[in-house]
């Protein structure tokens, strides 16, 4: 009787441990995805600022700045000419959700005369 009781308790402890491990892994994945979405929203917001003002961040367009996306945040940095070459604007966005962070970088070509903006690349980069 004592052996069977001990075996049942051991199985219950193992199941509890495994359920805790699976829920933690799921939670971490969810936070990572939320951080990615926040970073992507930061990139989109930065692109809107550049489209509205071709001289961003020089003329009244703050950089770096924080963007609140739901309960997550994105830290957005816009750099013109000196970061990626003349006529290029680089936008970096770091999304944060809980303990997880993801970084996305976009490079835009901005025509100095017309203000036309073309997206050269958008990619996730390592922190």
- Global confidence as pTM: 0.79
* 26-70 pLDDT, tens digit each: 888 888 999 999 999 999 999 999 998 888 887 678 889 999 998
Whole-number pLDDT of residue 124: 93
Q: Give the distance between the most distant pair of CA atoms in the chain.
A: 87
Q: Which domains does the chain have, with CATH numbers?
A: 2-125 (3.30.1300.30)
Task: Locate 70 and state its tokens.
Answer: 């739901």
DSSP per-residue codes, 44-66: HHHHHHHHH-TTTTTSS--SSEE
* 95-106 pLDDT, tens digit each: 999 889 999 999
Mean pLDDT value of segment 15-21:
77
Which residue has 């929203």 as its token pair? 41
């Amino acid at each position: 009787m004592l052996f069977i009781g001990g075996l049942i308790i051991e199985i219950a402890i193992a199941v509890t441990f495994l359920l805790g491990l699976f829920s933690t892994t799921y939670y971490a994945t969810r936070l990572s995805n939320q951080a990615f979405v926040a970073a992507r929203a930061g990139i989109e917001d930065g692109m809107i600022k550049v489209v509205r003002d071709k001289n961003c961040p020089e003329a009244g367009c703050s950089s770096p700045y924080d963007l609140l996306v739901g309960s997550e945040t994105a830290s957005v940095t816009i750099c013109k000419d000196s970061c990626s070459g003349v006529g290029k604007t680089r936008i970096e966005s770091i999304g944060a959700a809980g303990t997880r962070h993801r970084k996305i970088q976009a490079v835009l070509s901005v025509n100095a005369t017309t203000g036309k903006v073309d997206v050269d690349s958008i990619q996730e980069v390592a922190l």
